[in-house]
Amino acid sequence: MENKENNPNNSHIEGQITVSRRGVGYMPHEDFEEDIEVSSDYINTALNKDTVEVSLFPEIKGERRRGKVVKIIERAKTEFVGTTKKEDDVILLIPDDPKMYTKILISPNDPLIGGIENIETPSLASDGVKVLVKIEDWTDPKVKPEGKILEIIGRKGEHNVEMRSIVLGHGFESGFPEDVEKAAKEIENRKTEILKEEESKRKDFRSVTTVTIDPPDAKDFDDALSLKKLDNGNLEIGIHIADVSHYVTPGSPIDKEAQERATSIYLVDRTIPMLPEVISNDVSSLNPNEDKLAYSTVLEINKDGEVQSQWFGETIINSDKRFTYEEAQKVLDAGTGEYYEELKTLDDLAKTIRKKRFEDGSISFEHDEVRFTLDENGKPIGVERKKMFDTNHLVEEYMLLANKEVAMYINKLNKKDLLFIYRIHDVPNPEKIDALEMFVKAIGFDFQPKDSGVTTHDMNKLFKQVAGAPTEELIKISAIRSMSKAVYSTKNIGHFGLAFKYYTHFTSPIRRYPDLMVHRIMKSQLQGKEIPADELKKYEKLTLTSTEQEIEATQAERDSIRYKQVEYMKDHIGEVFDGKISGVAEFGLFVEDENTKSEGLVHVSKIGNDFYTLDKKTYSIKGEKSGKSYSLGDKVKIKLMGADLDNKTLDFVIV
Task: Please check whether residues 281 and 206 belong to one and the same domain.
Answer: yes
CA 374 from centroid of its chain's CA atoms: 23
pLDDT at 29: 87
Q: Which pTM value belongs to this model?
A: 0.91
pLDDT surpasses 70 at 120:
no
End-to-end distance of the chain based on CA atoms, in angstroms?
Answer: 50
Name every residue whose Cβ is closer than 8 Å to that of residue 180 and which is 6 or more positions away in sequence: 253, 254, 257, 276
Most confident of 320-334, 442-456, 622-636: 320-334
- Which of 370, 354, 371, 373 minimizes the C-alpha distance to 362? 354
CA 142 from centroid of its chain's CA atoms: 36
pLDDT-above-70 percentage for the chain: 96
601-614 confidence digits (pLDDT tens): 999 998 878 899 99
Q: How many CB atoms lie within 10 A of CB 559?
A: 21
Task: Please check whether residues 398 and 536 belong to one and the same domain.
Answer: yes
Indicate the DSSP class of residue 290: S
Task: Please check whether residues 61 and 87 belong to one and the same domain.
Answer: no
Task: Please check whether residues 376 and 304 belong to one and the same domain.
Answer: yes
Task: Please check whether residues 327 and 208 belong to one and the same domain.
Answer: yes
Domain-located, residue 451: no
Can you tell me the distance from the alpha carbon of 179 to that of 256, in angstroms, rounded to the nearest whole number? 11
Average pLDDT over residues 567-580: 96
Average pLDDT over residues 229-249: 97
Domain-located, residue 192: yes
Name every residue whose Cβ is closer than 8 Å to that of residue 211 and which is 6 or more positions away in sequence: 224, 225, 226, 319, 320, 321, 322, 323, 328, 339, 342, 343
Average pLDDT over residues 392-415: 92
pLDDT at 124: 41
Domain-located, residue 385: yes
Task: Please check whether residues 526 and 641 belong to one and the same domain.
Answer: no
In this structure, of 123-132, 261-270, 319-328, the range with the lowest mean pLDDT score is: 123-132
484-499 confidence digits (pLDDT tens): 999 999 999 999 999 9
121: pLDDT confidence band, cut at 50, 70 and 90? Answer: low
Residue 192: φ, ψ to 5°: -65, -45
Can you tell me the distance from the alpha carbon of 358 to that of 106, in angstroms, rounded to the nearest whole number? 55
Can you tell me the distance from the alpha carbon of 78 to that of 91, in angstroms, rounded to the nearest whole number? 19
Can you tell me the distance from the alpha carbon of 212 to that of 399, in angstroms, rounded to the nearest whole number? 12
Task: Please check whether residues 140 and 283 belong to one and the same domain.
Answer: no
Task: Please check whether residues 104 and 49 belong to one and the same domain.
Answer: no
Domain boundary among 516, 531, 559: 559
Is the distance from CB of 322 to CB of 214 less than 8 angstroms? yes
Domain-located, residue 539: yes
pLDDT at 419: 84
Residues of the domain holding 41: 12-74
* List of long-range contacts for 40-44, beta carbons under 8 Å, 24+ apart: 40/101, 42/3, 42/5, 42/67, 42/68, 42/69, 43/19, 43/69, 43/141, 44/68, 44/69, 44/70, 44/72, 44/141
Report the sign of the C-alpha dihedral through residues 436, 437, 440, 445, in that order: positive
Q: Looking at the 3D structure of the chain, how many domains does it have?
A: 4
pLDDT at 376: 93
Domain boundary among 47, 74, 101: 74
- Which of 381, 366, 373, 168 minimizes the C-alpha distance to 268? 373
